[in-house]
Amino acid sequence: MRLLRHSATASAHCDLPCGVYDPAQARIEAESVKAIMEKYQGNEDPVFRTRALIIKEQRAELVKHHLWVLWTDYFKPPHFEKYPELHELFNKATKKAGGGAGGTKASNDPATGQELLDYIAQIDKIFWETKQAA
């Protein structure tokens, strides 16, 4: 029975707690979302448009994933105390990446993609401020 008992519990955004976090992962996927929106607008081929929508939604899901990892794994209570806008900022960013009203999954307007990038830029600024303080 002693052999089956866990000796330590660890959690991380991957299978090995590497401690590597960077909003660039979310930004790159969001740049892809916006670029796909632009290509969608410039192409009338229904097959191309269908593929674009599928890929855009996959990339938007990855944006949400990378944001959630930062929100839940990197940022800690002291960060939220120093930057009280962080919770609302992450909420807005993940909703903008989502499929609800105003989200990139529900829109093909590149302006919506830019709004997502703007939220990520704000998160990025705070992230790097926290890294400088560490």
Query: Which domains, and CATH codes, for the chain?
Result: 21-133 (1.20.120.400)
Give the pLDDT mean for 45-68. Answer: 97
pTM beyond 0.95: the answer is no
- 20 — pLDDT class (breaks 50, 70, 90): confident
Statement: residue 8 has pLDDT above 60: no
What is d(CA 31, CA 52) in angstroms, rounded to the nearest whole number?
14
How many Å apart are CA 35 and CA 23, to the nearest integer?
A: 18
Q: Which of 26, 130, 20 is nearest to 80 (CA)?
A: 130
The more confident residue out of 134 and 104 is 104
